[in-house]
């Protein structure tokens, strides 16, 4: 087993990986940019190295600096987390060349599955159903021709994409040019690759993905599905296991699991990976892409199956065999995850970086919080605004939802805006609770639901609290300004009574 592992990431996932490394008795090395000197992953790690200025292109995306840091600290392996270099085949190859183990699949597997268009070609070759689209990057003219042939709406996607970056829905020709320009520029900034391709948009589809796990000895299993249909800006915000659809049609888990294992095997895959499927209203599933890394939402699979995916990733990378067979995988209860972002859900989900002035974390039965924030931390402007992942587990889906609502009520983050209260609103929604999910759920939800009106008593308490707070501030400031003003205030108080 490794003695020391470098974590080539930041934020909650770096903290998540460091936790398991510590449980395994493995030393951890954090890397950080200028913006992250006081971030939690640096504070938690055993060792840490500065790798450059705040923009990720000059730090977390710098392969040379990360390999140098690993060498200097004597790390035998690198865990890439998700995002940044996690699906970069050149990085996996550079690790190998430097004699450092990349905790993930081979560079070849990443090449055949990492790029969305290459993955489409692999899936087509493997006779897996794919959504109609271009199998190569497309120019603006080619996208226009595709849309003219298949009809709007279409979806522009970054060839190197992930996390919804560089993705745009286009409903009519007039929007195409501006959408193409913005998506391409966003892709360039996020992935250093401005190439786009286009797919026909399947309306009211569900996003259901399968977790696969394979070792380097030819063994591969699936760990069931995660339903990730609740998305904003094409980015998942609520995920569940089991999927309410699959709970209703259990045979789908086997069918999709088997298809996912076949696709992964076709790419010669090992370590943890995820095959994403789009499921239409007739329950047909289409291969969307493969994520050749650990997913953000992996904790729900961990809670339902009882496995630590990061531990398994490390063991597999160190040459170990899968410690269980497919028949030994059991799914128990129901887990749900909410991604807590620094953003304003009632203002188009605009990011809201800033300083946290207050933090109360939810605790109690069945609650897991994978986060990277602390009271007084400033959420940097340069990176994804994910603050934490709140996960609840319970025996049934309804109980897991109720537990999540309870945990969200305990969760208080001050100074910045978050989507915490928005999640409560969704989880209380009867359509959500009935399990009728699709990727357009949030847009539709906003169209049929007004922002929640607070109970009238809360307005009274707010007015009272604000008045007390304002007068306390005045009283506290007054003596410094003038020794007589307290008397004046008291006199005014008397007169105004």
Give the interface with other proteins as residue ranges (CB under 8 A). Answer: 165, 178, 182, 185-186, 189-190, 233, 342, 344, 347-348, 350-354, 357-358, 381-385, 408-409, 412, 414-415, 420-421, 424, 452, 454, 457-471, 473-474, 492-493, 496-497
Q: Which residues pair with 354 in a beta bridge?
A: 379
Among 203, 223, 211, 207, CA closest to 286: 207
| Distance (Å) of CA 180 to CA 140, 167, 170 | 7, 9, 9
In the complex, minimum distance from the CB of residue 45 to other proteins, in angstroms, rounded to a whole number: 23
Please state whether the peptide bond connecting residue 153 to the residue before it is cis, i.e. omega within 30 degrees of 0: yes
Q: Which is nearer to other proteins, 325 or 495 (CB)?
A: 495
Q: Which is nearer to other proteins, 124 or 468 (CB)?
A: 468
How far is Cα of residue 214 from the mean position of the Cα atoms in its chain? 22
Q: Which is nearer to other proteins, 191 or 197 (CB)?
A: 191
Q: Which is nearer to other proteins, 363 or 467 (CB)?
A: 467
In the complex, minimum distance from the CB of residue 146 to other proteins, in angstroms, rounded to a whole number: 23
Helices (H), 306-429: 309-317, 397-410, 420-427
Q: What DSSP element (H or E) covers 48? A: strand 47-52
In the complex, minimum distance from the CB of residue 334 to other proteins, in angstroms, rounded to a whole number: 23
Contacts 24+ apart (CB under 8 A), 64-70: 65/31, 66/6, 66/8, 66/31, 66/91, 67/94, 67/95, 67/98, 67/100, 69/6, 69/29, 69/31, 70/6, 70/29, 70/95, 70/98, 70/100
In the complex, minimum distance from the CB of residue 463 to other proteins, in angstroms, rounded to a whole number: 5
In the complex, minimum distance from the CB of residue 387 to other proteins, in angstroms, rounded to a whole number: 11
In the complex, minimum distance from the CB of residue 200 to other proteins, in angstroms, rounded to a whole number: 24
**Residues, the chain:** 497
Measured CA to CA, the distance from residue 437 to residue 229 in angstroms comes to: 6
Beta carbons of 48 and 29 less than 8 angstroms apart: yes
Q: Which is nearer to other proteins, 323 or 454 (CB)?
A: 454
Q: Which is nearer to other proteins, 414 or 479 (CB)?
A: 414
Q: Which is nearer to other proteins, 136 or 357 (CB)?
A: 357
Q: What tokens appear for 164 in the block?
A: 């919804």
Beta carbons of 394 and 403 less than 8 angstroms apart: yes
Q: Look up residue 422 and give its DSSP letter.
A: H
Q: Which is nearer to other proteins, 76 or 186 (CB)?
A: 186
In the complex, minimum distance from the CB of residue 339 to other proteins, in angstroms, rounded to a whole number: 13
In the complex, minimum distance from the CB of residue 190 to other proteins, in angstroms, rounded to a whole number: 5
């Amino acid at each position: 087993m490794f003695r020391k592992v470098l974590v080539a990431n930041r934020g909650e996932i770096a903290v998540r990986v460091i936790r398991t490394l510590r449980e395994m008795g493995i030393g951890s090395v954090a890397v950080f940019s200028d913006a992250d000197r006081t971030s939690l992953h640096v504070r938690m790690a055993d060792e840490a190295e500065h790798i450059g200025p705040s923009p990720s292109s000059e730090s977390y995306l710098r392969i040379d600096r990360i390999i140098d840091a690993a060498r200097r600290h004597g790390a035998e392996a690198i865990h890439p987390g998700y995002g940044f270099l996690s699906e970069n085949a050149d990085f996996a190859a550079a690790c190998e060349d430097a004699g450092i183990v990349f905790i993930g699949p081979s560079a070849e597997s990443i090449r055949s599955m990492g790029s969305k268009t290459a993955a489409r070609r692999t899936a087509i070759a493997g006779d897996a159903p794919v959504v109609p689209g271009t199998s190569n990057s497309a120019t603006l003219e080619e996208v226009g021709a595709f849309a003219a042939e298949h009809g709007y709406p279409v979806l522009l996607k970054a060839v190197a994409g992930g996390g919804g970056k560089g993705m745009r829905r286009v409903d009519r020709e007039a929007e195409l040019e501006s959408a193409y320009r913005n998506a391409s520029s966003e892709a360039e900034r996020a992935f250093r690759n401005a190439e786009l391709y286009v797919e026909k948009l399947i309306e009211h589809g569900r996003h259901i993905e399968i977790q696969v796990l394979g070792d380097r000895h030819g063994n591969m299993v699936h760990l069931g599905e995660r339903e990730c249909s609740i998305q904003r800006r094409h980015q998942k915000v609520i995920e569940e296991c089991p999927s309410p659809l699959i709970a209703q049609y259990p045979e789908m888990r086997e069918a999709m699991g088997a298809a996912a294992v076949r696709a992964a095997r076709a790419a010669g895959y090992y370590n943890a990976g995820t095959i994403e499927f789009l499921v239409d209203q007739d329950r047909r599933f289409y291969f969307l892409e493969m994520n050749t890394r650990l997913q953000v939402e992996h904790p729900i699979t961990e809670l339902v199956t009882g496995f630590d995916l990061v531990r398994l990733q490390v063991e597999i990378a160190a040459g170990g065999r899968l410690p269980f067979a497919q028949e030994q995988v059991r799914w128990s209860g129901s887990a749900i995850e909410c991604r807590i972002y620094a953003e304003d859900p009632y203002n188009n989900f605009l990011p809201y970086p800033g300083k946290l002035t207050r933090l109360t974390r939810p605790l109690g039965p069945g609650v897991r919080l994978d986060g990277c924030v602390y009271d007084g931390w400033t959420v940097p402007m340069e990176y994804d605004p994910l603050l934490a992942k709140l996960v609840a587990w319970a025996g049934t889906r309804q109980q897991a939802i109720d537990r999540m609502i309870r945990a969200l009520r305990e969760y208080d983050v001050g100074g910045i805006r978050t989507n915490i209260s928005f999640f409560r609103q969704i989880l209380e929604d009867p359509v959500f609770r009935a399990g009728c999910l699709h990727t357009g759920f949030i847009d539709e939800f906003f169209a049929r639901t007004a922002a929640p009106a607070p109970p009238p008593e809360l307005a009274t308490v707010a007015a009272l609290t604000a008045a007390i707070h304002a007068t306390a501030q005045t009283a506290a400031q007054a003596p410094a300004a003038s020794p007589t003003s307290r008397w004046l205030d008291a006199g005014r108080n008397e007169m105004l009574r």
